[in-house]
A and B are shown apart, each in its own frame.
Chain A
Amino acid sequence: DADVTQTPRNRITKTGKRIMLECSQTKGHDRMYWYRQDPGLGLQLIYYSFDVKDINKGEISDGYSVSRQAQAKFSLSLESAIPNQTALYFCATSDGGRGQGYNEQFFGPGTRLTVL
């Protein structure tokens, strides 16, 4: 079984609809992230969470919200979807360890979202 799973894998929706993307992990990591990928632009950070009570905005958080329901679950919501939110969305996890160190990030398979 995959360590980081995302549902749904593909979603087509209409402008103005509310959408939730879900992420679950079995790696036991404290840190979770949501990124979006646009062609030719690389990946950009939307939100990140260092534990259940810690939620932080990333560089492109406008139009998005998140919920950390448990250590293993981190959901991304689009309250009112718009066409320029059409992209590939990735969830990632890492083990924060002690102090301010960095650890390897592990990514889920992605959710392809199309907003018409």
Chain B
Amino acid sequence: KQEVTQIPAALSVPEGENLVLNCSFTDSAIYNLQWFRQDPGKGLTSLLLIQSSQREQTSGRLNASLDKSSGRSTLYIAASQPGDSATYLCAVIPPTYAEYGNKLVFGAGTILRVKS
């Protein structure tokens, strides 16, 4: 059974710092991996989608990498800002298509606080 773990559970950094959020998964045979941002009282915003054949994706100050063989993904945030404060969720699609369709398996998230 696929399990996703995110470390750290919470992180507090000063504004301007570069930071890395970690995601690990137990079954390396995934279809894809998706990073989300969740703000209090709001839904999930998709940040980056990494196809299983890719090793990284970039969007603005965000860079996500994927190492399937080691079961790991990292989300790198450059020059952090107070507006980046949110919960960041990592989710993978297991390889078993027949089980629950395109079921995302989520980690519990990392709560990020960027102090001004």
Interface set of A (CB-CB < 8 Å, partner B): 4, 6, 31, 33, 35, 40-43, 45, 48, 50, 56, 58-59, 90, 92, 94, 96, 100-110, 112
What residues on A are CB-neighbors of B55 within 8 Å? none
Contact call A31/B101, Cβ cutoff below 8 A: yes
Instruction: Give the interface size class of chain B.
Output: 20 to 34
Contact call B108/A58, Cβ cutoff below 8 A: no
18 A-B pairs whose Cβ atoms sit less than 8 Å apart in the complex: A4-B43, A31-B101, A33-B102, A41-B108, A42-B4, A42-B89, A42-B106, A42-B107, A42-B108, A42-B109, A50-B101, A59-B103, A92-B44, A100-B97, A103-B102, A107-B43, A108-B43, A112-B41
Interface set of B (CB-CB < 8 Å, partner A): 4, 31-32, 34, 36, 41-46, 49, 89, 91, 93, 97, 100-104, 106-109
Main secondary structure of the interface of A (DSSP, over half): strand
What residues on A are CB-neighbors of B43 within 8 Å? 4, 6, 90, 107-110
A43 to B103, CA, bound (A): 10
What residues on B are CB-neighbors of A103 within 8 Å? 102
B33 to chain A, nearest CB (A): 10
**Given A40, A56, A110, which contacts B101 in the complex, CB threshold below 8 Å?**
A56
Contact call B103/A45, Cβ cutoff below 8 A: yes
